[in-house]
């Protein structure tokens, strides 16, 4: 049975009845100017009881694709459920969003302080109040991210290895790739796991960029997910799925053997063969040209789009069946 489905839900002391729409301002701090900083929580409840889906974006303030995905869900009224409740929070880290930065003003990463503390850092306090007053209402969570810095992620869903329920939900969402990825301590995803709330983490694109193709993958996946739960409104039709999501159990980073100018020769999502030409690294003076090739057959699921790299920088993320352990080479989760 879905949580709270037969009576009012109470979020931040606001009652929301079945069939009601409400925007609740989540505010726990102010700017230096005493101006309130408020996080709008958009709640849509059907008259028909059902599960509650919580949809969040911008835990990292510079990850814009997720904000656009949730914005479109609201603008197109996809968030008005046939049954149950949909809670949308387009910008959870509003402090980082205002500054165009990943973290909070004190440098803390919101996605590394969950479930937070009541008297801790600003990020920890936001995580605490969110974990105590919003998250417990959710039966399912969808959280939207991008690659960090200049690293562009192929559209993908990340799930815990060995969690068959999450894997089935990932197949329903049907992003081009589904990647097995262990949860990180003190992350939002880890807190959901401890609370037994199924969560799908979507990754796509890179920070400080809005990519219409990535956004479409996110919106389409949400519609398929809601249809699976019999929550998608009658005015909407879920897009047909991809042939099948490619399940990646293990992967590794290809790192730069030289410092210099990076010239990428392949596109993200591409399946490559062992030894295939991926990029060149050159010096600025025309004396050095280093060829980067694929160490194994696999899918390229992340590309560093920075024009300049240092030796040891992660430049490609490639799937592999031979790596001993999936590397967590970026801070995407």
In this predicted structure, the answer to whether residue 327 has a pLDDT above a threshold of 80 is: no
Alpha helices in the chain (DSSP H): 64-75, 94-99, 122-133, 164-173, 188-194, 212-228
Per-residue CA distances from 122 to 30, 38, 133, 177, 212 (Å) = 11, 14, 16, 35, 33
Same domain, 82 and 137: yes
Same domain, 42 and 131: yes
Distance CA 122, CA 125 (A): 5
| CATH code where residue 276 lies | 2.40.50.100
Strand partners, 7: none
Look at residue 1 and tell me if it is in a domain. no
Q: What is the pLDDT of residue 243?
A: 84
Per-residue CA distances from 156 to 16, 159, 332 (Å) = 33, 10, 12
In this predicted structure, the answer to whether residue 325 has a pLDDT above a threshold of 60 is: no
Q: What is the pLDDT of residue 31?
A: 85
What percent of the chain is predicted at pLDDT more than 90?
89
Give residue 55's domain range. Answer: 9-228
Q: What is the pLDDT of residue 329?
A: 41
Residues in Cβ contact with 161 at an 8 Å cutoff, skipping those fewer than 6 apart: 180, 181, 182, 249
User: Residue 202: which of 224, 186, 185 has the closest Cα?
Assistant: 224
Same domain, 72 and 202: yes
Mean pLDDT of 108-114: 97
Same domain, 42 and 83: yes
The 8-class DSSP code of residue 245 comes to: P
Same domain, 315 and 199: no
Same domain, 47 and 86: yes
pLDDT digits (tens, 9 = 90+) for 115-166: 999 999 999 999 999 999 999 999 999 999 999 989 999 999 999 999 999 9
Look at residue 330 and tell me if it is in a domain. no
Same domain, 151 and 213: yes
Model confidence at 193, pLDDT cuts 50, 70, 90, reads: very high
Same domain, 141 and 21: yes
Question: Helix crossing, 164-173 with 212-228: angle to 10°?
Answer: 120
Look at residue 240 and tell me if it is in a domain. no
Same domain, 182 and 261: no
pLDDT digits (tens, 9 = 90+) for 260-308: 999 999 999 999 999 999 999 999 999 999 999 999 999 999 999 999 9
Look at residue 237 and tell me if it is in a domain. no
Distance CA 257, CA 31 (A): 44
Look at residue 49 and tell me if it is in a domain. yes
Going by their DSSP bridges, the two strands 52-57 and 85-89 should be labelled as: parallel
Look at residue 127 and tell me if it is in a domain. yes
User: Residue 176: which of 53, 305, 274, 267 has the closest Cα?
Assistant: 267
Q: Which of 195, 228, 261 is the last residue of a domain?
A: 228
Number of domains within the chain:
2
| CATH code where residue 201 lies | 3.40.630.10
Cβ atoms of 115 and 122 closer than 8 Å: no
Look at residue 331 and tell me if it is in a domain. no
pLDDT digits (tens, 9 = 90+) for 14-57: 999 999 999 999 987 888 899 889 999 999 999 999 999 999 99
pLDDT digits (tens, 9 = 90+) for 214-253: 999 999 999 999 999 999 999 999 999 988 999 999 999 9
Q: What is the pLDDT of residue 3?
A: 60
Same domain, 280 and 131: no
Q: Which of 228, 243, 265 is the last residue of a domain?
A: 228
Q: Map residue 325 onto helix, strand or coil.
A: coil
Same domain, 159 and 262: no
Model confidence at 111, pLDDT cuts 50, 70, 90, reads: very high
Going by their DSSP bridges, the two strands 14-16 and 9-11 should be labelled as: antiparallel
Look at residue 266 and tell me if it is in a domain. yes
Same domain, 214 and 304: no
Residues in Cβ contact with 62 at an 8 Å cutoff, skipping those fewer than 6 apart: 96, 97, 100, 101, 102, 207, 208
């Amino acid at each position: 049975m879905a949580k709270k489905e037969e009576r009012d839900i109470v979020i931040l002391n606001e009652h929301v009845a079945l069939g009601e729409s409400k925007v609740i301002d989540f505010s726990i701090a102010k700017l230096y100017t005493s101006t309130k900083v408020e996080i709008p929580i958009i709640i849509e409840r059907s008259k028909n009881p059902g599960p509650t889906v919580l949809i969040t974006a911008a835990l990292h303030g510079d990850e814009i694709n997720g904000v656009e995905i949730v914005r479109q869900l609201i603008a197109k009224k996809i968030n008005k459920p046939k049954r149950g409740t949909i809670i949308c929070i387009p910008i959870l880290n509003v402090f980082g969003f205002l500054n165009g930065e990943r973290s909070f003003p004190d440098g803390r990463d919101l996605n590394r302080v969950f479930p937070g503390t009541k008297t801790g850092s600003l990020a920890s306090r936001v995580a605490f109040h969110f974990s105590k007053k919003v998250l417990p209402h959710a039966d399912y969570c969808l959280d939207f991210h991008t690659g960090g810095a200049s690293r562009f992620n192929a559209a993908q869903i990340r799930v815990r290895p060995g969690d068959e329920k999450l894997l089935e939900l990932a197949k329903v969402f049907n992003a081009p790739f589904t990647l097995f990825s262990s949860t990180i301590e003190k992350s939002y995803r880890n807190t959901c796991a401890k609370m037994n709330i199924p969560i799908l983490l979507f990754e796509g694109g890179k920070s400080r960029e809005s990519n219409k193709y990535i956004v479409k993958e996110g919106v389409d996946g949400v519609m398929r997910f809601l249809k699976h739960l019999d929550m998608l409104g009658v005015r909407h039709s879920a897009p047909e799925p991809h042939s099948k999501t490619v399940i990646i159990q293990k992967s590794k980073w290809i790192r730069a053997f030289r410092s210099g100018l990076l010239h990428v020769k392949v596109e993200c999502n591409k399946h490559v063969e062992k030894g295939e030409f991926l990029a060149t690294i050159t010096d600025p003076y025309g004396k050095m040209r280093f060829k980067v090739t694929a160490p194994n057959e696999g899918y390229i699921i992340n590309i560093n789009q920075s024009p300049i790299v240092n030796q040891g920088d992660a430049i490609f993320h490639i799937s592999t069946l031979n790596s001993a352990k999936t590397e967590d080479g970026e801070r995407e989760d």
